[in-house]
Amino acid sequence: MKQIGELMSSYSLERLFRESIRFTIVGAFNTSICFILYKLFVYLDPWPAYTLGFAFFLSEGLSCIVAHYLHRRITFRSSSPYGRSLTLTLIIYATSIAIASSFHHMIAEVWDGGNFDPFIVEHVSWFFNTALVGVIAFLALRFVAFPPSDDVQDESE
């Protein structure tokens, strides 16, 4: 199996661009689901001491399973074994979500933003951290969870 660096350096930028467009479209759909779940968990407040960070963690975690299926079928058109790609996807997402949830908690709940509206700080932080998770996830999913060697051959590519 090729090293990740070799795969990335020999990978067509045009193909990576097409996949990033598909990733963005699938991601926009999944982000909508994630945001609805986030607002639901904020409302339900399952862990009052960490309301926003925990709501972010739960909503991202649940939407990861939906995202895996959609990215496997639509974004990367991969034939990777389902169990292996799901495991790797969850590891990738768990790592990026842990980082982003910590940032979100620190920015939205701990950081004293001075005269900034807490509602604005919370939502700017949510969108920033969702974007951070997206960039990390796209590259890791493409070259680790759904390696190009497992791609379904498609004449349009």
Q: Provide the percentage of residues in the chain whose pLDDT is more than 70.
A: 90
- Please write the tens of the pLDDT for every residue from 115-130: 788 888 888 888 888 8
93 pLDDT band, cuts 50/70/90, is confident
Q: Provide the percentage of residues in the chain whose pLDDT is more than 90.
A: 50
* pLDDT of the residue at 42: 97
pTM for the whole structure:
0.70
Which tokens is 84 given?
Answer: 């292996």
- Please write the tens of the pLDDT for every residue from 23-58: 999 989 998 999 999 999 999 999 999 999 999 889
* pLDDT of the residue at 145: 95
Which tokens is 29 given?
Answer: 């759909």
> 116: which DSSP letter?
S
Burial class (CB in 10 A: 0-12, 13-18, 19+), 19: buried
Q: Where do runs of H (alpha helix) occur along 47-117?
A: 51-70, 82-105
